[in-house]
Amino acid sequence: MSSVPILSTRDLEFLLYEWLDVEALTSRERFASHSRESFDDVLALSAQIAIDQFEPHNKYSDAHEPTMAADGTVSQPVEVKNALAVFAEAGLFAGAFDEELGGFQLPTTVMRASMAWFQAANASTAGYPFLTQANANLLAAHGTPEQIDTWVKPMLEGRFFGTMCLSEPEAGSSLADITTKAVPQNDGTYRVVGTKMWISGGDHELSENIVHLVLAKIPGGPAGVKGISLFIVPKKLVGSDGAVSERNDVVLAGLNHKMGNRGTTNAVLNFGEGTYTPGGEAGAVGYLVGEPHKGLSYMFHMMNEARIGVGFLATSLGYTGYLQSVEYARSRKQGRSLSNKNPESPQVAIIEHPDVRRMLLAQKSYVEGSLALGLYCSKLVDLLETEADPDAQARLTLLLDVLTPIAKSFPSQWCLEANSLAIQVHGGYGYTRDYNVEQLYRDNRLNQIHEGTHGVQGLDLLGRKVIMQDGAGLRLLATTMQETIDRAREAGGESAELGDRVAAALALTTSTTAAVWAPGEPALALANASVYLEAVGHVVVAWIWLEQWLAAATKEGDFYDGKRQAARYFFRFELPKTTAQFALLASLDRTTLDTSNSWF
């Protein structure tokens, strides 16, 4: 176990209280029973459990990944189960849920910060509650009262865990092509038959039951995504008294062996292969969620939550790697100052070298910018959840929709780069298993794929979010950013200079968006959507850094000086990259479109 902090309590305090003023949420009825003291208690407890229970087995579970026994069960280190039991006992599964469900009605912003401690300490073990909470959120929103009693409440107690089952071997991200089917039965249940893969947490012996949320098609329904429905398919059936009973026909066909994030099982599941046949009938017993053929819209409730959560996971891994590289740079002595011409003088800590400070500043700008963006989006969720005015609800929904692909993809790309720089700071040692940073890189690499690749997020941002409602999404984002720019200009000095830079980047964003869609050719507009995603992501994070700058502008001390210097780095080294990207996009470059498959 490392003695280096895995997250910065001071940064969280700054973001939550000095910038976002999360304490003000307690004036809203849903959070009225809370205070800053209760928020701090939850965060302190989370940090303690993460450090004491999750971090110690992080490297061990990486080296001893889950295995499938001959009887189809999963074996993995007992420390994983023990840590999750402590997590459950602390009530953290239920933190943000309604009191009537056994929750504490804590703000999402606070619970995201809480979960970041666990994700930083042990991404793999943290994956189980992460998926379970998202599953429970979906069912709490779209399930029947009976489904909530049967499945949600046990998940919030930590007795049942949850998954999401979307991908199939031949479909991948193309959900229109899934073939899993659900045949209706006379008793109102369905029999589900098909194969799902890449199912994180898909099988294990860590809980009494596993609640799979499965996308499938009811025979005779519409073609494509319009024919997708959503089903609860438990690993084990549950009686009317709530007791877990016989095994459902859900079979673990195999485990995927991953580059990183090895401690979380990743499964291929066969539904209805006949190994277990409740009542002697073919197919796994499933229960329809909501209405037929609306499954994808329900699943997006979970997917959008998971996308922001993946951004937090990437951020947490990048952040802890950054802190470890700072500590290493302070203690590792090598070389002499550039201004020191005496070869016999003592060696200096490598943090004295400008290029090492460059790498540390880059990491700091990526991880602190990403954490701020994720918490900003989380506060939007809290405001939306407690907003009564329909027009305000619509604006909050629209802004959150536009920011979600960026909140997922920017951390996934740039906090991974932070992990790469952390290895570089460590030098050759960073490439060995003696230090944690190589594992952090491997664990984080998955997040560029999880919950939609960069290509998928780019198509979502450029093909849907910024043009929806005739461009209302982009206009709202621009208006929101302009409010920050106006405050910066009013403050004057360096604040105004940074505000002008954001304004210029925002103008390029809007003009480029118009330019790529002007010909009216979707294929041409979307050919370079990933470039658009990266450029707009940088503009958004520059805005978030401007927000942090203004919150720190008049305050003194090393912490605030560090904030300001990281902001300067992002504006001087990172934001200028977007100029060339926007120019490429506005040129309507056809390089990728005009490339023949035979040329590879």
How large is the average pLDDT for residues 297-321? Answer: 91
Helix (H, G, I), strand (E, B) or coil at 173: coil
What's the mean pLDDT in 221-225? 90
Q: Are 306 and 406 in contact (CB under 8 A)?
A: no
pLDDT category of residue 306 using cuts at 50, 70 and 90: confident
pLDDT value at 279 more than 70: no
Considering only the C-alpha atoms of the chain, give the largest distance between any 2 of them, rounded to a whole number of Å.
88
Please check the confidence at residue 84 and state whether its pLDDT lies above 50: yes
Total residues found in the chain within this entry: 600
The domain segmentation of the chain, as residue ranges, is 453-593
pLDDT in tens, 359-415: 999 999 999 999 999 999 999 999 999 999 999 999 999 999 999 999 999 999 999
- The pair of three-digit structure tokens given for residue 383, joined into one six-digit string: 């405001």
* 8 Å CB contact between 315 and 415: yes
To the nearest whole number, what is the mean pLDDT of the chain? Answer: 95
- In the predicted structure, residue 2 carries a pLDDT above the cut 60: no
Q: Tell me how many degrees the CA angle 6-10-15 measures, rounded to the nearest 5.
A: 105
Residue 454 has pLDDT above 60, yes or no: yes
Distance (Å, whole) CA 414 – CA 471: 28
Q: What is the mean pLDDT of residues 184-213?
A: 96
pLDDT of residue 281: 67
**How confident is residue 426, by pLDDT bands cut at 50, 70 and 90?**
very high
How do 209-217 and 160-165 pair as beta strands?
parallel
Q: Which of 255, 261, 240, 78 is nearest to 150 (CA)?
A: 240
Mean pLDDT for 518-546 is 97
What's the pLDDT score for residue 590? 96
User: Is a pLDDT exceeding 80 seen at residue 277?
Assistant: no
Taking residues 407-436, what's their average pLDDT? 97
**Residue 272 in contact with residue 215, Cβ under 8 Å?**
no
Whether 196 and 268 have beta carbons less than 8 Å apart is answered as yes
Alpha carbon distance 217, 231 (integer Å): 10
Contact 376, 20 (CB under 8 A): yes
Is pLDDT above 70 for 176?
Answer: yes
CA distance 409 to 428: 29
Q: Is the pLDDT of residue 173 over 90?
A: no
Q: How confident is the model at residue 52 (pLDDT cuts 50, 70, 90)?
A: very high
Tens-place pLDDT, residues 472-501: 999 999 999 999 999 999 999 999 999 999
Task: State yes or no: pLDDT of 223 exceeds 60.
Answer: yes
Whole-number Cα distances in Å, 158 to 84, 98, 491: 8, 16, 49
Point out the residues that are catalytic. 451
Mean pLDDT of 335-353: 88
Percent of the chain with pLDDT over 90: 90
Q: Give the model's pLDDT for residue 472.
A: 96
Rounded to 5 degrees, what angle do the CA atoms 471, 475, 480 make? 150
What digits encode the pLDDT tens for the residues 123-156? Answer: 999 999 999 999 999 999 999 999 999 999 999 9
Range from 257-261, 479-483, 531-535 carrying the lowest mean pLDDT: 257-261
pLDDT higher than threshold 50 for residue 1: no
Residue 278's pLDDT is: 61
Binned at pLDDT 50, 70 and 90, residue 172 comes out as low
Q: Could you please report the per-residue DSSP string of 412-442?
A: HHHHHHHHHHHHHHHGGGGGSTTSSHHHHHH
Helix (H, G, I), strand (E, B) or coil at 184: strand
pLDDT band at 592 (very low <50, low <70, confident <90, very high): very high
Residue 582 scores a pLDDT above 50: yes
Backbone angles phi, psi at 235, to 5 degrees: -65, -40
Q: Model's pTM, two decimal places?
A: 0.96
Q: What percent of the chain has pLDDT over 70?
A: 98
Q: Are strands 244-247 and 74-75 parallel, antiparallel or unpaired?
A: unpaired
pLDDT reading at 343 higher than 90: no
